[in-house]
């Protein structure tokens, strides 16, 4: 890959299909052609979605535009979390402390995470650690993470299990990443706990060792086509077979970090063998590298380290990729866009 473009001081951004949209200098731009879509005033943020974007103004309005720049509508309600279409949305009211789904479902408590599966079942995770399953805007079941045993941190403090992220649904099981480096599986129909998997134990990391302590887990991905959960995390690439629940380390970058990889964040796209990541190599302690890991070849097939000479600069989030390009943001809000081979 070669560096195709670099945009400085951008705000929100998002890549859809083969186009990248950014917020820069009070404009929303389509990046490839440097095409201004909308000029903005009196706003504090933007969220991009597949067919439209939402502009949050300083008067707490939510204004929707399509990508031709046409105004769609304005909502006076505050604090939107997610959209699924122009008429399917969720927002959270900080004063009432209630979340609304399409104005028909009300859920007490702040939404921490949610997941919409391919048959329009909606899963919520809330601040009181209850997971909700919503079907046709009705609560079917609730599952409390308090059912899981608390754990002792490396500092000796006892803490309750908390949700990290919803991984996805595979064959009637909802898979969730929780704290203490565990994955749990919940029955989609009944809301009961089916599986509780200790990743450190399954990966063979001995308790109270440096490798166990250093093993961090932020991004876990569901490959629905192959029936695997996969992750590129810390020094390992591992997969869990969802039919057998067997976990296997398929790539170990090694104990010494001076000349090898440590992965911090990664992103997966369905149907793509690659994991796109930010991480460290050559003994760095911050994320100065962006790269591509091929899960079939089990190797880093491309990487770039453009931030090596800048002591305080690092990449801040997972790369986004299309068939044409790959983009990644650094800590000074510079967006680098690479042309794919």
End-to-end Cα, the chain, rounded Å: 6
Q: How confident is the model at residue 327 (pLDDT cuts 50, 70, 90)?
A: very high
**With pLDDT > 70 as the criterion, what percentage of the chain qualifies?**
82
Q: Which residues of 54-71 are buried (b: 16+ CB within 10 A; e: fewer)?
A: bbbeeeeebbbbebeeee
* Count of domains for the chain: 1
Residue 252 lies in a domain: yes
Q: Is the confidence at residue 291, as pLDDT, over 80?
A: yes
From CA 175, how far away is CA 332, in angstroms rounded?
A: 35
Q: Is the confidence at residue 100, as pLDDT, over 70?
A: no
Identify the pLDDT of residue 93.
63
Sequential DSSP letters for 248-263: EEEEE--S--TTS-EE
Residue 153 lies in a domain: no
Identify the pLDDT of residue 95.
63
Identify the pLDDT of residue 281.
87
The separation between CA 46 and the C-alpha centre of its own chain, rounded to angstroms, equals 18
Residue 6 lies in a domain: no
Residue 46 near residue 23, CB atoms below 8 Å: yes
Range of the domain at 211: 203-341
Identify the pLDDT of residue 315.
93
pTM strictly above 0.85? yes
Burial of 284 (0-12, 13-18, 19+ CB in 10 A): middle
From CA 189, how far away is CA 28, in angstroms rounded?
A: 42
Residue 172 lies in a domain: no
Identify the pLDDT of residue 77.
61
Residue 32 lies in a domain: no
Identify the pLDDT of residue 50.
82
Identify the pLDDT of residue 219.
93
Identify the pLDDT of residue 151.
82
> What residues contact residue 68 under an 8 Å CB cut-off, 6+ apart?
37
Residue 159 lies in a domain: no
Token pair, residue 96, equals 């009432």
SS3 state at 85: coil
Query: What does DSSP assign to residue 206?
Result: P
25-48 mean pLDDT: 88
Identify the pLDDT of residue 49.
84
Edge-to-edge, what's the strand order for the sheet holding 111-116?
A: 111-116, 122-126, 130-135, 138-144
- State how far the alpha carbon of 215 is from the alpha carbons of 129, 229, 262, in Å: 24, 17, 10
Residue 1 near residue 328, CB atoms below 8 Å: no
Residue 329 lies in a domain: yes
Q: How confident is the model at residue 104 (pLDDT cuts 50, 70, 90)?
A: low
SS3 state at 211: helix
Residue 78 lies in a domain: no
* 206-243 pLDDT, tens digit each: 776 667 767 778 899 999 999 999 999 999 999 999 99
CATH of the domain at 314: 2.130.10.10
Q: How confident is the model at residue 130 (pLDDT cuts 50, 70, 90)?
A: low
From CA 243, how far away is CA 43, in angstroms rounded?
A: 48
* 244-290 pLDDT, tens digit each: 999 999 999 988 877 889 999 999 998 899 999 999 988 788 899 99
- Considering 100-114, 123-137, 159-173, 200-214, the range whose residues carry the highest mean pLDDT is 159-173
What rounded mean pLDDT belongs to the chain?
Answer: 84
Phi, psi dihedrals of residue 72, rounded to the nearest 5°: -105, -60
- Considering 54-68, 104-118, 268-282, the range whose residues carry the highest mean pLDDT is 268-282
139-149 mean pLDDT: 85
From CA 340, how far away is CA 168, in angstroms rounded?
A: 28
Identify the pLDDT of residue 135.
67
**With pLDDT > 90 as the criterion, what percentage of the chain qualifies?**
41
Identify the pLDDT of residue 250.
96
């Amino acid at each position: 890959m070669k560096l195709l473009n670099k945009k400085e001081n951008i705000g929100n951004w998002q890549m859809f299909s083969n186009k990248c949209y950014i917020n820069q200098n009070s404009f929303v731009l389509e990046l490839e052609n440097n095409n201004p879509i909308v000029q903005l005033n009196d706003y504090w943020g933007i969220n991009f979605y597949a067919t439209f974007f939402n502009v949050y103004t300083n008067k707490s309005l939510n204004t929707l535009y399509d990508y031709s720049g046409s105004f769609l509508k304005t909502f006076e309600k505050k604090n939107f979390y997610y959209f699924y279409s122009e008429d399917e949305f969720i927002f959270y009211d900080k004063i009432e402390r209630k979340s609304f789904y399409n104005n028909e479902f009300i859920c007490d408590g702040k939404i921490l995470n949610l997941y919409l599966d391919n048959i329009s079942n909606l899963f919520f995770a809330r601040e009181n650690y209850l997971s909700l399953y919503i079907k046709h805007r009705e609560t079917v079941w609730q599952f409390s993470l308090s059912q899981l045993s608390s754990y002792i941190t490396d500092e000796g403090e006892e803490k309750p299990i908390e949700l990290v992220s919803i991984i996805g649904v595979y064959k009637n099981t909802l898979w969730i990443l929780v704290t203490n480096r565990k994955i749990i599986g919940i029955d989609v129909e009944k809301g009961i706990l089916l599986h509780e998997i200790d990743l450190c134990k399954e990966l063979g990391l001995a308790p109270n060792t440096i490798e166990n302590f250093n093993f961090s887990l932020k991004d876990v991905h569901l490959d629905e086509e192959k029936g695997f959960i996969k992750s590129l995390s810390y020094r390992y690439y591992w997969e869990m077979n969802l039919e057998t629940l067997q976990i296997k380390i398929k790539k170990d970058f090694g104990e010494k970090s001076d000349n090898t990889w440590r992965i911090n964040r990664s992103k997966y796209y369905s149907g793509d063998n690659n994991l796109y990541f930010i991480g460290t190599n050559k003994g760095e302690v911050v994320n100065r590298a962006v790269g591509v890991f091929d899960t079939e070849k089990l190797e880093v097939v491309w990487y770039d380290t453009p931030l090596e000479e800048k002591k305080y600069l690092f990449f801040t989030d997972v790369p986004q990729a299309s068939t044409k390009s790959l983009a990644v943001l650094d800590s000074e809000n510079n967006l680098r866009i690479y042309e794919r081979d």
